[in-house]
């Protein structure tokens, strides 16, 4: 059933129900667990705040190996559009020097943030950098950085819910909603 919600001046309709999101996360977690099975080191999950909080939490609950959690906050959106400029709002909360890092993102569209994040991790001395995203917009992604674990591909629409926001609200919604124009 299509549900509509209102956030500030915009109306959104149900796009991806929570059950589908959870199934997609299960599949990504299975792949990550296979790839990191039996590792001698403790990899670092780098949660990109605020959007990736829910995705990171759900992934971590499904891990079968120990992992460290580090966070940082970047910003590139204003309202419903990307500014094209990535700003560091809060630096990393721990060291990644010499460690295997798995960047956890809520959504990858233009890829500007991912390119910057990979460079930040390399400059901080990460031994390896991989990327996981809950949502991926392939029609607007034009970068060469490989995305290692993609939960779901979606069209280039503005969405909210499950960690994603519209001017900082809507992150708490368990389903994902699309702008209803």
Backbone torsions φ then ψ of 170, nearest 5 degrees = 100, -10
Looking at the domain assignment, is residue 113 inside a domain?
Answer: yes
Looking at the domain assignment, is residue 24 inside a domain?
Answer: yes
Number of domains in the chain: 1
pTM metric for this prediction: 0.94
Mean pLDDT throughout 170-179? 97
What is the domain-level CATH number for residue 117? 3.40.50.2020
pLDDT at residue 75, rounded to an integer: 79
Looking at the domain assignment, is residue 62 inside a domain?
Answer: yes
Annotated catalytic, 26? Answer: no
Range of the domain at 69: 18-156
CB 37: neighbour CB atoms within 10 A? 9
Q: Which of 109, 123, 144, 180 is catalytic?
A: 109
Residue 161 has pLDDT above 80, yes or no: yes
pLDDT at residue 141, rounded to an integer: 96
- The contacts of residue 144 (CB under 8 Å, 6+ apart) are none
Mean pLDDT, the chain, integer: 94
Peptide bond into 139 cis (omega under 30): no
- Both tokens assigned to 26: 């299960």
Residue 78 has pLDDT above 70, yes or no: no
Looking at the domain assignment, is residue 181 inside a domain?
Answer: no
Q: What is the pLDDT of residues 60-69, one digit of tens each?
A: 999 999 999 9
C-alpha angle 115-118-124 in degrees, rounded to nearest 5: 140
Looking at the domain assignment, is residue 27 inside a domain?
Answer: yes
Residue 83 has pLDDT above 90, yes or no: no
pLDDT at residue 63, rounded to an integer: 96
Q: What is the pLDDT of residues 97-148, one digit of tens each?
A: 999 999 999 999 999 999 999 999 999 999 999 999 999 999 999 999 999 9
């Amino acid at each position: 059933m299509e549900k509509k919600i209102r956030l500030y001046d915009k109306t959104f309709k149900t796009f991806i129900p929570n059950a589908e999101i959870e199934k997609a996360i299960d599949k990504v977690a299975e792949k990550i667990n296979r790839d990191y099975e039996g590792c001698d080191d403790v990899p670092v999950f780098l949660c990109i705040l605020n959007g990736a909080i829910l995705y990171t939490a759900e992934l971590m609950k499904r891990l079968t190996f120990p992992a460290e959690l580090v966070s940082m906050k970047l910003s590139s959106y204003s309202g419903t559009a990307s500014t094209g400029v990535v700003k560091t709002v809060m630096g990393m909360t721990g060291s990644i020097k010499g460690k295997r890092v798995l960047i956890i993102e809520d959504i990858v569209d233009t890829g500007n943030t991912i390119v910057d994040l990979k460079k930040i991790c390399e400059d901080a001395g990460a031994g390896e950098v991989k990327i996981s995203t809950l949502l991926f917009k392939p029609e607007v992604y034009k970068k060469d950085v490989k995305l290692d674990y993609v939960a779901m591909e979606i069209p280039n629409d503005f969405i909210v819910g499950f960690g994603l926001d519209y001017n900082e609200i809507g992150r708490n919604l368990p389903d994902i909603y699309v702008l209803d124009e």
